[in-house]
Structure 1
Amino acid sequence: MLTLQTPAVVAIGRRAGRLAAYDVEGGKFYDLPVDLEGVEVAELGLDGANIRSHIVIASYATSLIKAIAVDGDAEVLDVGGLRKMRRGPVAIQAVKGRELGRWDDVWNRLILIGGQAGMLAVGASRAGSLLHLNTARTDARHVKALTDSLESLRAFGEVSAACSCRLGLLPVELLARRGTEYILVKVYMNVQNRRSNTAVVIRGSGGNVHKRFIGPLENLNLFIQEAYRA
């Protein structure tokens, strides 16, 4: 995990064949220890007054984290499902001058780079004046588990989605509420960890847990259906 003092602007891309981040404010490159085999990631560097990267993430205010895709496509997960991130050029002077324009809100949201051959998960969060960035390998199976779960949970109630980005497993929590009742689904996106093969579903109300299901990711939809009946 990369942690920086804010205000911070961070570009993420491929540098010398490895995943790397560039701290625009500090003018420093950081290696990110994630295998990029099969993942198409744009090159990271500076081109005159512009930043070249796959994505750029910026955080100024306490609860504000914005991002934009630069030289490659990226997606972000919200309650509506996966949507393509806005794409455009990024000038160094503009971001140093706090001029972001119409960037996407990515605070505690899952960002995805890549496709069927290989995927990279990126998460950004704030803790006080610190910006935390986490990166990990993920795959289409885990992404489909999330999007399918979102569709299922909408039948229960109002849905929210959040990525606990400071945790190495990069867990994404989907919460469906109906009055005081809720169903919570947790999927671990970091496939480099064995726990990513496990899913968690909780049915409860208020502060009480009525049912908890923990088991293989392949059984996630079954767990959700059981939670409906609990």
Structure 2
Amino acid sequence: MSGSRIVAIIIVALIHIALGYALVTGLAYSAVKKAIERVTTVDIKEPPPEKKPPPPPPKQDNPPPPIVAPPPPINIAPAPPPIQTQPTIPPPAPPVLRVPPPAPPAPPSRARGASPDNLQRWAARIQGDYPSAALRRNESGTVTMQITIGADGRVQGCNVIRSSGSSSLDDAACRGMQRYARYNPALNDAGDPVSSTTSQSIRYVLPD
């Protein structure tokens, strides 16, 4: 065979192959297209799962008998004693009045005032101590004084409340009272000596 014949045969073979391929491809494409058009899409929903009831508890052949505690002992109290009722209620007893004993009487008061002790004796000594100035002037008279008597019975203070008219006699009277006069001191309620005040008069008379 010549070379041109071989080339022609090859060309014819290639043309046949190309036509066969085109035919096969076209037919396949149209067949696939028709098949796609015929197929309809359907969404299938799965049904929800059925809820199965819980399995029953296993059956026990012989359940244990329940535990029964013995009943507690019952204490039967004896019958209470019969209640005695009184038809009438007696009146309440009168209250007892307790009178306290009377207080002991208070002791009698022992208070007293001051009193002169041997007045004539010491008054004569005061009158006998006549001041010389009053003698020269022939002065006489009565001196009244307020005196303070201590708890010891002695005169602690003297004040002329009525003059005799002579200063010499007034001074001599207070001086003599504080020097010679003695008193029984005043007492309080308990009988204890206390100081007090009183009045006293001294009379001066010129000697013959």
TM-score range, shorter chain: under 0.3
Specify which structure has the higher proportion of helix.
2
1 or 2 for the larger relative contact order (CA 8 Å, sep ≥6)?
Answer: 2
Answer with 1 or 2: which has the greater Rg: 2
Q: Output the TM-score relative to the length of structure 1.
A: 0.19
